Structure 1
Amino acid sequence: MIDLDALGTQALGKIAAATDLDALEALRVEFLGKQGSISGLMKTLGAMSPEERQTQGVAIQALRSSVTDALAEGKAKLEAAALERKLAAETIDLSLPAPEAPLGSVHPVSQVMDELAEIFADLGFAVASGPEIEDDWHNFTALNMPESHPARAMHDTFYLPDLTAEGREMVLRTHTSPVQIRAMLAAGGNQPLRIIAPGRVYRSDSDATHTPMFHQIEGLVIGKDIHLGHLKWTLETLLKAFFEREDILLRLRPSYFPFTEPSVEVDTGYSWQDGRRVVGGSGDAEGHSWMELLGSGMVNAHVLRAGGYDPAEWQGFAFGVGVDRLAMLKYGMNDLRAFFDGDARWLSHYGFSALDVPTLSGGVGVNA
């Protein structure tokens, strides 16, 4: 019969003398592996008589447990020692500059939105918002475009399959003008309004200057004795502040929009610099140096009534301009589709640092 005490002393001595994890693993295999000496003893338990198991079996089990515990303790000590050696060998040179972390950027559309909001805040405008999924009454009917009105064909509209509880069709809004209706209704038809409505709008169109989703900012002023002169002054002040030039020249041309009467297209003079259009400079009377920029006009009487205002007492003007177009003109971009491609190279080139963005905090001189 094998001397269990001698085998235990030998196993524990070798385990205590192991200097690395590989040596310790070899000892585990030697004693507890499938062909190990202690594993061999475990296999003899089946052939023992009950009396022998009471003595020899208990001693073999105790030997196996003590060797297993010694292996676990030795492994923990060797792993701790290896970690201490690794930490002692690794040092950080605190005099070296820290690696640059990747930084995001402010998208040009977001930047222009902020610039416009800042200008309008100086002019006393509040920011209003509304749902992007709109019912056709707010999007069309209240804006003087009933179901039979041919102006609805002017918009390539995304219609949704579900109807409202009132049976109205739901659409992705084609402009931010529905916000004007909601703002007028919220005002109760008895107080002046001066708001802008920036946001995303949707039309089924896509090319270098059109995308299915784009951004607009619309303005609405309601008051008493409002006229086109107020509109022209507001737009001139806006564009001078936005493009940071005093030589802005505007031309108002008669046009047609169902929600304004009279309606005017607004053109601005421009010049060519470094191969791109730059807003500013006098326009040519023959139209060779004019560029259409936005649409505007006096709020139609039907729209005033839909918003709860009495057109005999209240007047107003409204205008709308594409934020993406303004960004393209100011910052020299030539393809609107790139705004939404998510190309990191484009964003790196045209994006703005969140900590160092252009600002118009100098304010807008207002002598109204």
Structure 2
Amino acid sequence: MAMEINANEVDIVVSVTRPDPSFLEAWMPFFSPYHVIVVQEPELEENVKVPSGLNHTLYTKHDMERILGIGVLNSLGFRGHSCRAFGYLMSKKKYIFSLDDDCIPAKDPNGYLINPLEQHIVNLMNPSTPFFFNTLYDPYRDGSDFVRGYPFSLRQGVPCAISCGLWMNLPDYDAPTQILKPDERNTRYVDAVLTVPHGALFPMSGINIAFNREIIGPAMFSGLARSGAGKPLLSRYDTLEDIWCGLCCKVICDHLGYGIKTGLPYVWRKEDFGDPMVSLSREYEGVKWLEEIVPFFQALRLPRTALTVEDCFAEIGKQVKDKFRNLDPLFSEVGTSMEDWAKAWKAASS
């Protein structure tokens, strides 16, 4: 379903974790109508050079300290790609599109470059259907509809909070799978969008994502990305930041009656696997902890008094501290970080 995009309702937020953000040049044809928030990872010492001609705002560690204060910044961390959350905080637009700095535009099966922003906004502007699965996937797309047997009372759907896009070339594998399949690449383009069912969790990726900031913005943060005094506190949970964020978001969407879509659009991830053995040393604790974390979120129930996303997110932070502090004391700090984020969001909104 074609829809007109109002550029005044969209911010593009990009996290930059390497000194040369030349990848932005590949996006200039698609990004030029929009405002781009470039968030520089706090550990980068020199300001990155954003390509000329891009309507952008650059935020550095200095800006974070000035706006949040050093104490709050140390609590929130914004390590690695998680620094993009600061851009979410600064934006005042309805829709946010974000992608990693190892991504460039992909091509569709006909060889045409894909503008992922257009498909993301279509996903977000059309309803989701989490309460009953449609076997033709997204019924709001052109050429699709609800199949026979789909209850009419559910066909109006619910607001879509998040659109999770996919990627060509480099698959988003964990280190053990990279070791087993070092040469595997994704060449399969699947022309489909579907809603993640109510009650089902999924591994959300921040590589290529868009969301309705007015609906779910206060939950787009991961306490696992904390750092204090310039040193990472949870480096052994690296690469799980967006997974943790997605688990929080899905529980909140289920509680408040929102939906999440996955599928189109695609981006192209460049060759940047690195040494999988090094990745394994960074990820092993998180991979092990997923076996504890996922059952926690599966059983998590939010109180009826939690009526806003901020309240839900802060409540999850409290339950994280109660559940995990005896198993790993660092999760007490994660819970506190989530509570601090909810406060920061309220302060920014007011």
TM-score of the aligned structures, taking structure 1 as reference length: 0.24
Per residue, is there more strand in 1 or in 2?
Answer: 1
Q: Which has the higher contact order (CA 8 A, sep 6+)?
A: 2
Is the radius of gyration larger for structure 1 or structure 2?
1
